[in-house]
Structure 1
Amino acid sequence: MLHATLSGPEGAPVVAFLHAVGISSWMWHDVTAALPDCRSLLVDLPGHGQSRDVPWRSLEDSADRVAAAITAEADGQDIHLVGLSLGSYVGLHLCLRHPDLCRSALLSGIHPGGMPKRGLMKLMSAVMAPLAPMPFVARRTARMMGARADVGGFVKAARQTRASAFRRATNDVVDFTCPSDPAIPQTRLAFVAGGREHPLIREGLSEFRNRFPGSVSAVAPGLGHGWAGEDPQLFADFITAHMAERLADTVQTQ
């Protein structure tokens, strides 16, 4: 079972958070602080954080494990899913494989497929995997992810990551392709990105919208891939708006 912690006011809707590669659910603390009227379910993915002894097998396996953790911690409650980067790939698989589990899902920093130079990307992953948890690399990653206020906390959380999980999870993202004819989940989907993200992610928003009728997409202007750390209040505002079915009315949409 994955490590998961549930906190917040009883009876409030539950927001389950899935983190990026090479970090843990620690990354969400500033965002959850900006959501005092929600219950936050923080899940550490396989090979990360306090789930570091759970081996990473695949995006599909991780999605099933997250679904089991959500069911164990918050069965019968309204569930809203939030993912960033790796967490979004796991989150999309969760919505497709467990279509009635989450009422909504906000997925940031995900591409629809066709990543260029996949062989080179996998080589870089193999080189980076043992280095990523090291403090000097983790501090650089923290700055890239916008974690300026507590770089030490980011480094401590990153050091828990298994090198094998970092490499395998990164390779799964590199190989990811959204199904050409996916089943339509019952979950209301929002695909979002920072305005300074890689074009593959920003330009992929329209493709996701086409593949999932009824979904919405939006951009956080001027922010990067780790914009949950750059502007946690804005990220929380996106979550709140999507939960209330008014994301398209409150932010710049695509």
Structure 2
Amino acid sequence: MLHRSLHGPAGAPVITCLHAVGISSWMWQRVIAQLPEYRVLLIDLPGHGESRDTPWVSLPDTADLVAAAIRSDVDTSPVHLTALSLGSYVGLHLVLRHPDLCTSALLSGIHPGQMPNRRMMKLLSAIMAPLAPRPAFARRTARMMGAAVDVEGFVAAAGQTRASAFRRATNDVLDFDCTTLPAQTGTRLAFVAGSREHMLIRDGLDVFSARFAGSITAVAPGLGHGWAGEDPALFAQFLRAHIEGTPLQSELSP
């Protein structure tokens, strides 16, 4: 069973948060601080954080592990889901494989498929995997997210990542193709990207919108791939609005 922790008032609506590669559920601390009215379930994905001794197998396998964790810890379902980067790929598999679990899902930093230069990218992943948990590398990554980031907290969380999980998870992301997945889900979906993200992710918003009927898309202006860390208040604000069914057009551009 994956490691998880619950925060916030018992009996409140539940948000489940799935983190990026090379970090842990620690990354959500500043976001959930903006959401005191919700119960929040934080989950460490395989090979990361306190789940570091659980091997990474695949995106579908991880989605099933997340589903088991939600069913174990949440008395009232469905829940709301939010995810960033790696967590978004897991999250999309989750809502498609377990359509009863999530009322809404906000997925940020996810590409739709057809990643160019995959062979080269996988080689880079193999090189980066043993470096990512090291303090010097993690410190550099954290500082790229802005002055407000808790650098040492990031370093400590990144240091728990297994290199094998980093490499395998990254390769799964590189091979991801949303056209191989079912196009129907009962979950209200929002696909979001920072305006400074890779073009494949930004342009992919239109692909997701076309494939998943009723989904919404938005761009966070001036922010990058890790915008939940760059501007946690804005991320929380949009998450709250999506849960309530009122996207913030003034803050995020559709």
TM range (shorter): over 0.9
CA RMSD for the aligned pairs?
1.3
One-letter amino acid matched to 2:28: W
**Alignment-derived partner of residue 237 in structure 2:** 237
Mapping 1:36-185, distance limit 5 Å: 36-146=36-146, 148-179=148-179, 182-185=182-185
One-letter amino acid matched to 2:59: L
Residue 203 of structure 1: SS of its match in structure 2? helix
The answer (yes or no) to whether the contact 2:77–2:101 under 8 Å persists in 1 is: no
TM-superposed CA distance for 1:179, in Å, is 2.3
Structure 1: runs of 5 or more not aligned: none
Question: Structure 1, residues 44-98: CA drift from partner, whole Å, max 9, x if none?
Answer: 0000000000000000000000010011111323410000000000000001100
TM-superposed CA distance for 1:181, in Å, is 6.4
One-letter amino acid matched to 1:221: P
The answer (yes or no) to whether the contact 1:182–1:211 under 8 Å persists in 2 is: no
- In percent, how many aligned pairs have the same letter? 68
Instruction: Provide the C-alpha distance between the structure 2 equivalents of 1:181 and 1:57, rounded to a whole number of angstroms.
Output: 18
**Alignment-derived partner of residue 206 in structure 2:** 206
One-letter amino acid matched to 1:112: P
TM-score by length of 1: 0.97
Q: Which stretch has the larger CA shift, 208-217 or 244-253? A: 244-253
Instruction: Provide the C-alpha distance between the structure 2 equivalents of 1:171 and 1:223, rounded to a whole number of angstroms.
Output: 25
TM-superposed CA distance for 1:231, in Å, is 0.4
The answer (yes or no) to whether the contact 1:103–1:187 under 8 Å persists in 2 is: yes
Instruction: Provide the C-alpha distance between the structure 2 equivalents of 1:251 and 1:12, rounded to a whole number of angstroms.
Output: 26
The answer (yes or no) to whether the contact 2:238–2:248 under 8 Å persists in 1 is: no
Structure 2: runs of 5 or more not aligned: none
One-letter amino acid matched to 2:95: C
Question: Structure 1, residues 146-205: CA drift from partner, whole Å, max 9, x if none?
Answer: 474310000000000000000000000001000256241111000001111111000000
Residue 152 of structure 1: SS of its match in structure 2? helix
TM-score by length of 2: 0.97
Question: Structure 1, residues 83-131: CA drift from partner, whole Å, max 9, x if none?
Answer: 0000000000001100111000000000000111000100000001111
Instruction: Provide the C-alpha distance between the structure 1 equivalents of 2:148 and 2:134, rounded to a whole number of angstroms.
Output: 18
The answer (yes or no) to whether the contact 1:129–1:163 under 8 Å persists in 2 is: yes
Question: Structure 1, residues 210-245: CA drift from partner, whole Å, max 9, x if none?
Answer: 000000001110000000011000000010000011
Residue 179 of structure 1: SS of its match in structure 2? helix
Instruction: Provide the C-alpha distance between the structure 2 equivalents of 1:15 and 1:146, rounded to a whole number of angstroms.
Output: 26
One-letter amino acid matched to 1:171: N
Residue 247 of structure 1: SS of its match in structure 2? coil
TM-superposed CA distance for 1:145, in Å, is 3.6
Aligned length: 254
